[in-house]
Amino acid sequence: MEQDLLVIGGGINGVGVAADAAGRGLRVTLCEMSDLSSGTSSASSRLIHGGLRYLETYDFKLVRESLVERSILTRLAPHLIHLQPFVMPHCPQLRPYWMLRLGLFIYDHLSYDPGIPSCRGLNSQEIATLQLKSNYNKALEYYDCTEDDSRLVLHVALLAQQQGATIMPRSKIVAAHRMQNGWHVTLEQTKANGRLNTLHLHCKAIVNAAGPWAQKVANEILGIKTAHKIKLVKGSHLVVPRIFNHDKAFILQHTDGRVIFLLPYLRDFTLIGTTDILLNTIENPPIVSDAEIQYLCDVTNKFVQNTITPEQVLYKYAGIRPLFDDNHKDASKISRDYVIDTDDVAAPVFTIFGGKITTYRHLAEVLCNKLTKYFPNCGAAWTKDAYLPGGDFQDNDIDSFRHNLIKDHENLPPRVLMHYVNNYGTRALDIINDIQNKTDLGIHFGAMLYQCEVDYLVKNEWAHTVDDILWRRGKMGLWFNASQVQALEQYLASFKHK
Ligand SMILES: Cc1cc2nc3c(=O)[nH]c(=O)nc-3n(C[C@H](O)[C@H](O)[C@H](O)COP(=O)(O)OP(=O)(O)OC[C@H]3O[C@@H](n4cnc5c(N)ncnc54)[C@H](O)[C@@H]3O)c2cc1C
């Protein structure tokens, strides 16, 4: 296979680059060794945010860039990215109130988005309804956005495919040979039936977006030395039964200088995170330690009336931040900005270190602008106004779309229809295209998962396994019991023989 660009890694940065480059007219293949988004990009705090705390490290450029991206992405993917009020309780022994106000004032002004309400102080009646401990009598409210990280990755991968990119999950780069005019690459692909297939590909340039594995791929597979080094920082999250009777999120200041988020999560739960643990080697998969669970419970319990215990944790996950090493010893102080390392002594390689989900589009644009040096016919930047698949609501009006969908499909459960809008946007219509009645939805596997959605995911979104469907194409695993998982597993096995 002859390609212009091979992208290694199907996390947010890899799919972002694949989409941008393909839309500029390059022939692009993306290889991902496991499922799309199975690395760090499915283990985040699920925020599209400026990163309020980076103001304290004077990272104004990163905050400004992230806030601009927040505005762009809420416009391009209104079904996936939602405005969320955050409350910051004041802790008199930590940062003074005026400092919090000033920080949020700067945050608002770096954003310049008229669609996002400004920060404000809450009055005592409002604070009384928050279910915080009674010693918190001052608090500020500001806005950021929440999202579903792995669904965002899937949508950007679909955009890349629409632009002509070949997306290859379960395809690991195992060898690469550099020549003057390109790379000869070997991929090992795992087929649906478990068989291994070896593929060879020739490409003119490589983007190494392997996240925590980026340094390893650069050194051991591509045989290059990068100018920058990676720093691996683990972060963990807990999911507990809903702690609050309202839908505000909290940003909690801890005595160690860090902040912890409490986020309303999927109607029934609260998501708590995160930690910052320096790692010397990649944990695969990364493990949430007992100490991290206790730490997150302890910080939460300092603030909330409905305290939690480690026994109440329903689900936990950890991810590894692939940060670039800026020589900070304190893991929480290492910059979250990104660096693109270029090696072009012969056919070029670009290695990505750092970054955030929030800045993926900008990172991809910056990287693809660099490609024009090597591909003179490469088109101009275009993604700023390109809706993600399913984000193209008439007059940008998602509420009318929801309303009309329920009105036009009165024989279908409204909750299931809303689930389709939240996960697929306007593509919800593709799923229910031939469906008139509830029975047409097919087998009910559990929660809101019916056969028609499973079939759609297998056919259109590269889903193969139970985890692909329950934890990355959505988060319905939180409601599934063992026998429901088994039934889904058996159903998926039937596809392997087709
Ligand atoms: C705890 C935590 C919380 C976070 N919260 C936020 C947040 O709220 N908002 C935000 O904006 N950012 C957040 N981030 C940061 C964000 O999640 C990461 O910056 C981003 O997901 C990194 O994406 P990536 O594509 O670079 O890496 P990854 O998502 O890890 O993707 C790399 C991919 O490369 C693949 N790969 C590796 N080796 C090979 C190979 N040999 N062949 C083929 N494929 C290979 C891997 O399987 C993997 O899927 C958070 C990160 C963590 C850890």
Residues 360, 458: one domain? no
Bridge partner list, 237 = 273, 317
Q: Are 214 and 197 in contact (CB under 8 A)?
A: no
pLDDT band for position 430 (cuts 50, 70, 90): very high
The per-residue pLDDT of the chain, averaged, comes to 96
Q: Which atom of ligand 1 is nearest to the CA of 47?
A: 8
pLDDT band for position 329 (cuts 50, 70, 90): confident
Q: Is the CB of 173 under 6 A from ligand 1?
A: yes
pLDDT band for position 16 (cuts 50, 70, 90): very high
Nearest CA to ligand 1 atom 4: 44
Q: Is the CB of 235 under 6 A from ligand 1?
A: yes
- Please give the sequence-ordered ranges of beta strands (E in DSSP) within 119-255, or none if there are none: 120-121, 139-146, 166-168, 171-179, 182-190, 196-208, 230-241, 249-253
Cα gap 211→13, rounded to integer Å: 8
Last residue of a domain, one of 297, 313, 332: 332
Last residue of a domain, one of 315, 332, 349: 332
Q: Is the CB of 28 under 6 A from ligand 1?
A: no
Q: Which atom of ligand 1 is nearest to the CA of 66?
A: 11
Structural domain contains residue 309: yes
Here the CATH number for the domain that contains residue 225 is: 3.50.50.60
pLDDT at 45 over 80: yes
Q: Percent of the chain at pLDDT above 90?
A: 92
Structural domain contains residue 61: no
Structural domain contains residue 342: yes
pLDDT at 335 over 70: yes
pLDDT digits (tens, 9 = 90+) for 389-421: 999 999 999 999 999 999 999 999 999 999 999
Residue 2, judged by CB atoms within 10 A of its CB (0-12, 13-18, 19+), counts as exposed
Structural domain contains residue 67: no
Decide: helix, strand or coil at residue 441.
Answer: helix
Cα gap 3→96, rounded to integer Å: 56
pLDDT digits (tens, 9 = 90+) for 241-291: 999 999 999 999 999 999 999 999 999 999 999 999 999 999 999 999 999
Residues 313, 267: one domain? yes
Q: Is the CB of 39 under 6 A from ligand 1?
A: yes
| 454: number of Cβ within 10 Å | 20
Residues 160, 277: one domain? no
pLDDT band for position 498 (cuts 50, 70, 90): low
Query: Which residues fall within 8 angstroms of residue 24, CB to CB, at 6 or more apart?
Result: 368, 371, 378, 379, 380, 382
Half-sphere exposure of 137 (CA within 13 A, CB side): 2
Rg (CA), the chain: 23
Structural domain contains residue 10: yes
Cα gap 390→69, rounded to integer Å: 19
Structural domain contains residue 23: yes
Residues 133, 170: one domain? no
Q: Is the CB of 383 under 6 A from ligand 1?
A: no
Query: What's the gap in Å between 44 CA and the centre of ligand 1?
Result: 8
pLDDT at 224 over 90: yes
The DSSP letter of residue 304 is B
Residues 325, 413: one domain? no
Q: Which atom of ligand 1 is nearest to the CA of 275?
A: 1
Q: Is the CB of 172 under 6 A from ligand 1?
A: yes
pLDDT digits (tens, 9 = 90+) for 95-130: 999 999 999 999 999 998 898 999 999 999 999 999
Q: What pLDDT score does 129 carry?
A: 97
Query: What's the gap in Å between 40 CA and the centre of ligand 1?
Result: 3
Residues 246, 134: one domain? yes
Q: Between 12-23 and 360-371, two packed helices, what is the crossing angle to 10 degrees?
A: 50
Here the CATH number for the domain that contains residue 282 is: 3.30.9.10
Residues 323, 343: one domain? no
For residue 425, give the nearest of 69, 39, 159, 46 by alpha carbon: 159
Bridge partner list, 323 = 231
Residues 235, 139: one domain? yes
Q: Is the CB of 10 under 6 A from ligand 1?
A: yes
Q: What is the largest CA-CA distance in the chain?
A: 69
Last residue of a domain, one of 354, 385, 416: 385
Here the CATH number for the domain that contains residue 430 is: 1.10.8.870
In angstroms, the first-to-last Cα distance of the chain is 26
pLDDT band for position 330 (cuts 50, 70, 90): confident
* Torsion on CA atoms 481, 482, 484, 490, rounded to nearest 10: 160
Indicate the number of domains in the chain. Answer: 3
Amino acid at 344: D
Structural domain contains residue 492: yes
Residues 273, 263: one domain? yes
* Helix spans in 409-473 (H): 414-424, 428-431, 451-460, 466-467
Residues 9, 109: one domain? no
Structural domain contains residue 195: yes
pLDDT at 191 over 70: yes
Residues 35-40 have a mean pLDDT of 98
Residues 318, 206: one domain? no
pLDDT at 497 over 80: no
> Which residues constitute the domain of residue 289?
76-145+231-332
- Give, for 301, the enclosing helix (H) or strand (E): helix 290-303
Residues 249, 328: one domain? yes
pLDDT at 440 over 70: yes
